[in-house]
């Protein structure tokens, strides 16, 4: 049975990697999908949109970079105007800059915090005003909030650590309305941005009991579970999915 049939899901950064897998999986479960993309690769966005629509649901791809809060706000408003409701928000878009603390600039700081934290805050705030009982806010964090395996990850780890506090606070704020809020913290996942065949992959795989990267479909499966009615009692939780990376 399709457990999110007829619901509307809004996904940031849905044209590639985990975001694309999440859009496809939720559409397979019956959700209508709205996703944002940066506009840098419209062909990829169109491929995901066609895959979504192939599941006999409605789909909408909107160009909106998470660095631009006004664009993100307009995208959410467009989704609400188009569908008249919002049931599931997936904060997926993120950016990673690997530099040591001596190398980082304030512009690096602003970019990472704007995309990884500020945009999540803005989208969640707008969603909170429209979600009804049974609504979901699901944010993609990182297991680097708990463990930084090498040099150059301080800024990214800080941004993803901030999401833990935001997740708990949102769960407290929105629990009385029947809205569940959770954080998914993946470890290394095989994407075009972080391919399993990269030079540093063997170092990272040594941390994991399965000695492999995660698959985008595995992350999407956990997100789909959190979107279902059966997960209603899970809220304010950080769920790590990293193949034993943090053991």
The per-residue pLDDT of the chain, averaged, comes to 96
pLDDT at 169: 99
CATH superfamily of 8-241: NAD(P)-binding Rossmann-like Domain (3.40.50.720)
Q: Is 42's pLDDT higher than 70?
A: yes
pLDDT at 117: 98
| Residue 22 backbone dihedrals phi, psi, to 5 degrees | -65, -45
The average pLDDT across 27-41 equals 96
pLDDT at 195: 83
Residue of 224, 227, 226 whose CA lies nearest to 237: 226
| Strand residue runs (E) in 95-173 | 136-140
Q: What is the pLDDT of residues 190-238, one digit of tens each?
A: 998 888 888 888 889 889 999 999 999 999 999 999 999 999 999 999 9
Crossing angle between the packed helical segments 42-53 and 17-28, to the nearest 10 degrees: 20
Q: Where are the domains of the chain?
A: 8-241
Which of 19-23, 111-115, 133-137, 188-192 has the least mean pLDDT? 188-192
pLDDT at 36: 98
CB-CB contact of 33 with 79 (8 Å): no
pLDDT at 199: 83
CA distance linking residue 139 with residue 184, whole number of Å: 6
pLDDT at 1: 63
Q: What is the pLDDT of residues 52-96, one digit of tens each?
A: 999 999 999 999 999 999 999 999 999 999 999 999 999 999 999
Q: Indicate yes or no: pTM above 0.85.
A: yes
DSSP for residue 16: S
pLDDT at 247: 87
State both tokens at 134. 């049974």
The average pLDDT across 24-52 equals 97
Q: What is the pLDDT of residues 119-161, one digit of tens each?
A: 999 999 999 999 999 999 999 999 999 988 889 999 999 999 9
pLDDT at 192: 83
CA distance linking residue 134 with residue 228, whole number of Å: 9
Q: Is 6's pLDDT higher than 80?
A: yes
The pLDDT > 70 percentage for the chain reads 100
Catalytic: 156?
A: yes
pLDDT at 240: 97
Q: Among 96, 109, 156, 213, which one carries the catalytic annotation?
A: 156
Q: What is the pLDDT of residues 234-246, one digit of tens each?
A: 999 999 999 999 8
pLDDT at 127: 98
pLDDT at 194: 84
């Amino acid at each position: 049975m399709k457990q999110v049939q007829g619901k509307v899901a809004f996904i940031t950064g849905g044209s590639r990697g985990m975001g694309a897998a999440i859009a496809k999986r939720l559409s397979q479960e019956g959700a209508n999908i709205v996703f944002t993309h940066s506009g840098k690769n419209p062909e990829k966005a169109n491929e995901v949109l066609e895959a979504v629509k192939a599941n006999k649901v409605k789909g909408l791809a909107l160009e909106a970079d998470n660095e631009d809060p006004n664009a993100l706000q307009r995208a959410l408003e467009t989704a609400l105007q188009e569908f008249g409701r919002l049931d599931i928000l997936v904060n997926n878009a993120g950016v990673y800059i690997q530099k040591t603390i001596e190398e980082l600039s304030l512009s690096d700081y602003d970019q990472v915090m704007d995309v990884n934290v500020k945009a999540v805050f803005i989208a969640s705030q707008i969603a909170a005003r429209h979600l009804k009982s049974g609504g979901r806010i699901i944010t993609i964090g990182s297991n680097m909030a708990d463990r930084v395996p090498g040099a150059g990850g301080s800024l990214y780890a800080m941004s993803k650590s901030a999401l833990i506090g935001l997740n708990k606070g949102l769960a407290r704020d929105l629990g009385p309305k029947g809205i569940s809020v959770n954080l998914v913290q993946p470890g290394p996942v095989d994407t075009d941005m972080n391919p399993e065949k990269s030079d540093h992959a063997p170092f990272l795989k040594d941390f994991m009991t399965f000695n492999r990267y995660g698959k985008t479909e595995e992350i999407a499966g956990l997100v789909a579970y959190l979107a279902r009615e059966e997960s209603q009692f899970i809220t304010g939780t950080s769920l790590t999915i990293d193949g034993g990376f943090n053991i």
